[in-house]
Structure 1
């Protein structure tokens, strides 16, 4: 799935620039957005941040032979973090657009046709965003799995936490894809089937990685 684009006018302020207290206050409020979709994207962002942190702790002299891999993981995790923050904003914008489309007038045939087209376009975007979050969760999980055998053992539990956050991102995104696709005609909803099929595999990989970390902790 391609990366959604959000203009500054769509969502202000960005999730990347507000305080945690402000974000949680908005999340708890009786407002349309943020909701579960933004939470899913921020799960992915946290997973990426944890991977980047563990990788940065794996730059000791004794890690020299793995430094090229570690440096690549840092760059990839930082990029995934940035994309995931964009997706959090995109989800809030998409959800707002769906609500606006449903409020369009429907008094004439022309208005009804325009309203249906607007609703479908908004629902496609509202499904595309969580599908992109699934992509991020998949990549972040792969980075975490690659990091586990070579990462600094003093922060190994953070790799497990990253796996758990990536799993949450994918599973929550599954729900948001399903609800939006369920309101779309088949020709518009079918392209999201592949993303939905990957979620169970991502969850299983995350569970396995959590188990590997737990085994490492227990010795």
Structure 2
């Protein structure tokens, strides 16, 4: 069953079972989806009359829409993670696969959490920049969004590491992790 079609209770119950999928990568993606959804809510609540008059409401609506799309994309990434790990696990046992085929499976397993980290970083940055304009009555939800997306990004990085990334990939992702840390520290 697709992650997005499963109820959160049923999905977390499955995550807690002794099965290889869903696993940590999918959990990171679901966390990112929840964070993006919280940010979308905070943004759409920043469309009051005074927000319309200052022009903030237009930015808030655009951010809300972007975060809704990100939330959906994170749910898709959760499914991609499950598929990639299942394929990786199968490649360990399939002696008929060529080295090239195994390398492709391994590259996909690495690409999924890399994309999740980059997505969480990009959207957390947007929320971070929006905080000063956010409706003060709901700014805590925007902050929750940042914390959840930062956590999802760091969790995705753990999945990156288990896939033995090249040093260039780690070097590319380190600044994103630092940014996520700084976004959170600014809130605390």
Please confirm whether the aligned pair reaches a TM-score higher than 0.5, indicating the same fold: yes
Map of 2:60 onto structure 1: 70
Alignment of 1:55-94 (within 5 A): 55-64=43-52, 65=54, 66-94=56-84
Q: 1:49-95: per-residue Cα shift (whole Å, max 9, x none)?
A: 01100011111111112122112111211111111111011000000
Q: Corresponding residue for 1:45?
A: 33
The match for 2:130 is 147
SS at match of 1:58: coil
- The corresponding residue for 1:197 is 174
Q: Whole-Å Cα distance in 1 between the matches of residues 172 and 3 of structure 2? A: 25
Q: Distance in 2 between matches of 1:209 and 1:169?
A: 18
The residue number in structure 2 matching 1:177 is 160
Question: Which residue is 2:94 aligned to?
Answer: 104
How big is the shift at 1:200? 2.7
Any runs of at least 4 consecutive aligned residues in structure 1 with deviations exceeding 4 A, and if so which? Answer: none
DSSP 3-state at the match of 1:149: helix
Q: Indicate the residue corresponding to 2:117 in structure 1.
A: 134
Counterparts of 1:109-120 in structure 2 under 5 Å? Answer: 111=96, 114-120=97-103
CA distance in 2 between partners of 1:139 and 1:84 (Å): 13
- Residue ranges of structure 2 left out of the alignment (5+ in a row): none
Retained in 1: the 8 A contact 2:125–2:183?
no
Q: Is 1:19 paired with 2:2?
A: no
Q: How many residues align?
A: 186
User: How far 1:134 moved relative to its partner?
Assistant: 0.8
Q: Deviations over 1:96-148 (max 9, x none)?
A: 0001111112xxxxx4xx34333322121111000011111111211211221
Tell me, in whole angstroms, the C-alpha distance in 2 between the residues paired with 1:143 and 1:118: 38
Query: Residue 151 of structure 1: CA displacement?
Result: 0.9
Contact 2:39 2:141 in 1 (8 A): yes
Question: Separation in 2 of the partners of 1:199 and 1:47?
Answer: 17
Max radius of gyration: which structure?
A: 1
Task: Tell me the SS of whatever aligns to 1:181.
Answer: coil
